[in-house]
């Protein structure tokens, strides 16, 4: 019984490691590889927008939102990646890069930032910090931007 339990724990630990390693792959600029090609994805906002509404301080600057897949009815399909680019006030480069990735029907949120156009992105926020705001957009599949 003990040997079986240890075997199960080992398999779960190995599987978790594989998931972490697979999701940790990054591009040369520090962004996750699943965002590759975002510049060619359809933009879901009609035009660039600035700070609006009560949550504007979370992403201060000029924003654009891109989606790797289109909505299927009222929801985005599994595998969809949504990217929000933010050009911070007083700059001309994307300084914040927020991602949403739909896996098994649930969104995974990660946000990155950098201080210059040549610097690699680093982790700014993820998980429940992002979810706590996005829950307000539940009726639009947790996405604030509407086409």
What is the pLDDT, as a whole number, of residue 28? 84
What is the per-residue pLDDT across 53-100, written as a single tens digit (0 to 9) for each? 666 667 789 999 999 999 888 899 999 999 999 999 999 999 999 999
For residues 143 and 65, what is the distance between their CA atoms, to the nearest angstrom? 10
Helix (H) or strand (E) segment spanning residue 15: helix 2-23
Identify the CA nearest to 136 among candidates 54, 74, 59, 61.
54
Q: What is the 3-state secondary structure (H, E, C) of 20-66?
A: HHHHCCECCCCCEHHHCCHHHCCECCCCCECCCCCCHHHHCCEEEEE
What is the pLDDT, as a whole number, of residue 11? 44
Helix (H) or strand (E) segment spanning residue 128: helix 128-134
For residues 95 and 80, what is the distance between their CA atoms, to the nearest angstrom? 23
Mean pLDDT score, 109-124: 97
pTM of the predicted model as reported, rounded to 2 decimal places: 0.78
């Amino acid at each position: 019984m003990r040997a079986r339990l240890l075997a199960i724990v080992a398999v779960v630990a190995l599987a978790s490691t594989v998931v972490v390693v697979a999701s940790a792959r990054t591009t040369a600029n520090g962004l996750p590889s699943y965002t590759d090609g975002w510049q060619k994805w359809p933009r879901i906002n009609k035009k660039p927008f600035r700070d609006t509404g009560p949550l504007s301080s979370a992403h201060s600057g000029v924003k654009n939102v891109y989606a790797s897949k289109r909505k299927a009815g009222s929801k985005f399909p599994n595998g969809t990646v949504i990217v929000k680019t933010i050009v911070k006030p007083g700059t001309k480069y994307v300084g914040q890069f927020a991602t949403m990735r739909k896996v098994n029907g649930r969104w995974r949120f990660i946000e990155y930032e950098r201080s210059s156009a040549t610097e690699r992105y680093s982790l700014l926020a993820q998980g429940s910090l992002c979810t706590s705001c996005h829950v307000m957009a539940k009726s639009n599949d947790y996405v604030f931007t509407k086409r």
